Structure 1
Amino acid sequence: MKIRPLAVEGAWEITPQQHSDPRGTFLEWYRPDLLTEAGVTPFAIEQANISVSAADVVRGVHFADVPPGQAKYITCVNGVAWDVIIDLRVGSPTFGLWESVLLDASDRRAVYLSEGLGHAFCSLAEGTTVAYFCSTRYAPLREHTVHPLDPDLAITWPVRTPLLSDRDAAAPRLAEMLTEGRLPRYLQDV
């Protein structure tokens, strides 16, 4: 398993070693012991989610209040997802920076996001299935969204017309969230 830090502080790309033969493929997609060895703090899994999306769907940008925040470990088990990690933590050295990782059922990469980071993805194929572990359960009053097409984020989505949920389409812009003090604060010990 190869674990590589991303430019967004607190995010990592994980590429598993795949073992294939005529019967198919086997891989270990989550190994907390190897995350620890790489300097990543694994978390107790409180919830596991799966989303299935049509092509061109953009989900996010979602984040949770810190504390407690919500760390995530994400992979794509079918189709192709262009996964985006955005640093929304006020005071972070990488605040406002975003990075993308292509998750698919071929390379079977995963991404790890620390608490306070924003997450979104774009489905590039019909039936794209994304699975993720979360460090906390869904709590609607602690969970928020920033408009994924906000020009201040400057995310270059790889589709012409992203399909958004009503919630994401009505989400505030980053500047509004910042002015209102609704973004998470950077905590170095998280």
Structure 2
Amino acid sequence: MSTLHTLVQQMSRKSLFFSLIAAAIFANGAYAIRNELVSKADSQQASLSQIKRWKAEYDILKPVQAEWNKTLTSTREITDLNRIYEALNLKKHGLNTNQERLIVEKIESVTPNSTLIQATRVCLKTSTDRGFAITAPRFAPDLLNGLEDLAKRRDVEVQNIQLTTENGTPKAVMDFCLVFRA
């Protein structure tokens, strides 16, 4: 009986030893899993915060995007030179140009500070002039006020205005570009 008792005691010690080792392994695994879950939860919270920030920025930019869409004509709407002439809307400003002499001088992407902003610049000229020519019945107020109104448009870029007359009609020749959204 003493041998049996000793054997049972040794088995109990071995079982206890293996149980303690197994418990230590499980505890270490549980600790590692807990740390991994905490790390994942922190990553998920950071991602959620970033998404909330992006959404807030998007909501702030919605009115700007609406103004962009309202101000700039889409390039999809420009199918021919007649559409470009209509986009000029010169009559609204009391100005006129010879539609038959209208030429597209160059087309390029708008890239302020080397950043592409999904806008296209279409530079125009009239075939008989060194730039884009417009006329009005009188210098003042028609041509001058019309040029001022035209220059205030956000979809228009005007440079190097030269005032002259052609057959007694006041005329302005300028470097002129229209901006369209892509």
TM-score higher than 0.5: no
What's the TM-score bracket when you normalise by the shorter of the two chains?
A: under 0.3
More relative contact order, 1 or 2 (CA 8 Å, 6+ apart): 1
TM-score, length basis structure 1: 0.22
- Choose between structure 1 and 2: higher strand proportion: 1
- Point out the structure with max Rg over C-alpha: 2
TM-score, length basis structure 2: 0.22
